[in-house]
């Protein structure tokens, strides 16, 4: 029986958002109070709009931090030990599968996560998707796609929900991820698993200090099937200028399924932010998160914040645009979207945590 698979777009209605709480065994140890403050703000921002599931080594600690005020939505905390907090890249992706009879079934897909091409330990994080599935965190009818033969991360893919998938060649063909696979067979397999009619891989654009080798969620994001928000650079002296100009050129050439140009929404590139060693950090406004009724947007306490927020207000008039201060997150080379994973309406077995 033929099945039609869709990678559910991020603006679809959601059951909850997942985050992984930082602890002292992670790379966050040296700045734990600062990053916990950031996670508290992020958690409360999500809980204004929908339920939140936190994976934590010490669940009681997390409850104590977050229950300091009445919560509008439900907080669930699940005990789990992790290597790192970037659950976008190791939590499962959400699909909808429809059979010939038109019957729909939710499905999660589990890829191998190897620390962005073996840069960091990932042995615990790589188990999270199976742990969630086997612990009955999802509804009883949930399907499971074992795609562990492919190394891939959720931050590396965008879906418009209408058959178009967007990624970057720098991630797809990075030698420590899927060595030995032909480029065309790798693309075909990804399309097959995620159900895209077409997979567009951008060849240009990457942010300095980005450990992921150029995840699409740092560069260009669907706001709808016809709109793409992307990071632009107008400063000819900035090291990113030429790569981001070339990426803009690529985006201008793209066509929607209906063969029309995309409505392109240019987000500013934040001014350079450096760490203590003088390394530039990958600050980007493209690393936003859709929640029910709102868009959470990372801000960095720099002069471009307001322009980015206003640009997104204009592009998404039906959403409330909510700034979330994420400067601590970029010190470990990620931002808001990297730290979160949304699950669509009808995916989660919430009664499991209410028991």
- Confidence tier at 1 by pLDDT (50, 70, 90): very low
The count of structural domains within the chain is: 1
Express each pLDDT in 90-105 by its tens digit: 999 999 999 888 899 9
Give whole-number Cα distances, 84 to 154, 218, 333, 354, in Å.
15, 18, 12, 26
Does pLDDT of 3 surpass 70? no
Express each pLDDT in 212-270 by its tens digit: 778 999 999 999 999 999 999 999 999 999 999 999 999 999 999 999 999 999 999 99
171-174-176 Cα angle (round to 5): 125
Query: Domain with 317 in it: what CATH number?
Result: 3.75.10.10
DSSP character string of 140-187:
TT-EEEEEEEEE--GGG-EE-SSSEEEEEHHHHT-TTTSTT--HHHHH
- Confidence tier at 202 by pLDDT (50, 70, 90): very high
Express each pLDDT in 122-176 by its tens digit: 888 888 999 999 999 999 999 999 988 888 899 999 999 999 999 998 888 788 8
39 lies in which domain range?
Answer: 3-354
Pairing of strands 227-231, 263-267: parallel
């Amino acid at each position: 029986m033929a099945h039609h698979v869709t990678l559910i777009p991020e603006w679809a209605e959601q059951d909850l958002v997942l985050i992984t709480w930082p602890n002292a065994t992670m790379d966050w140890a040296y700045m734990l109070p600062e990053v916990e403050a950031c996670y508290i703000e992020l958690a409360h921002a999500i809980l204004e709009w929908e339920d939140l599931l936190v994976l934590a080594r010490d669940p009681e600690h997390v409850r104590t931090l977050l229950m300091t005020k009445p919560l509008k939505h439900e907080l669930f905390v699940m005990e789990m030990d992790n290597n790192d907090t970037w659950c976008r890249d190791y939590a499962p992706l959400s699909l909808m599968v429809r059979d010939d009879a038109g019957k729909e079934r939710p499905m999660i897909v589990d890829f191998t996560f190897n620390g962005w091409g073996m840069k960091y330990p990932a042995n615990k994080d790589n188990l999270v998707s199976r742990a969630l599935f086997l612990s009955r965190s999802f509804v009883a009818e949930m399907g499971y796609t074992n795609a562990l033969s492919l190394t891939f991360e959720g931050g590396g893919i965008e879906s418009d929900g209408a058959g178009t998938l967007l990624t970057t060649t720098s991630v797809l063909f990075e030698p420590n991820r899927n060595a030995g696979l032909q480029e065309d067979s790798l693309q075909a397999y990804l399309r097959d698993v995620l159900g895209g009619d077409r997979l567009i891989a951008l060849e240009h654009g990457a942010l300095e200090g980005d450990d992921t080798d150029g995840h699409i969620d740092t560069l260009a994001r669907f706001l709808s099937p016809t709109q793409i928000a992307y990071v632009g650079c107008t400063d000819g002296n900035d090291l990113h200028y030429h790569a981001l100009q070339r990426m803009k050129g690529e985006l201008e050439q793209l066509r929607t399924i209906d063969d029309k140009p995309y409505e392109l929404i240019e987000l500013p590139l934040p001014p350079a932010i450096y760490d203590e060693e003088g390394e530039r950090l990958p600050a980007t406004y493209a690393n936003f998160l859709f929640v029910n009724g709102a868009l959470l947007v990372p801000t960095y306490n720099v002069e471009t914040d307001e322009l980015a927020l206003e640009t997104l207000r204009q592009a998404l008039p039906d959403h409330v645009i909510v700034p979330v201060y994420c400067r601590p997150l970029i010190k470990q080379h990620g931002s808001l979207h990297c730290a979160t994973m949304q699950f669509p309406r009808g995916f989660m077995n919430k009664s499991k945590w209410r028991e």
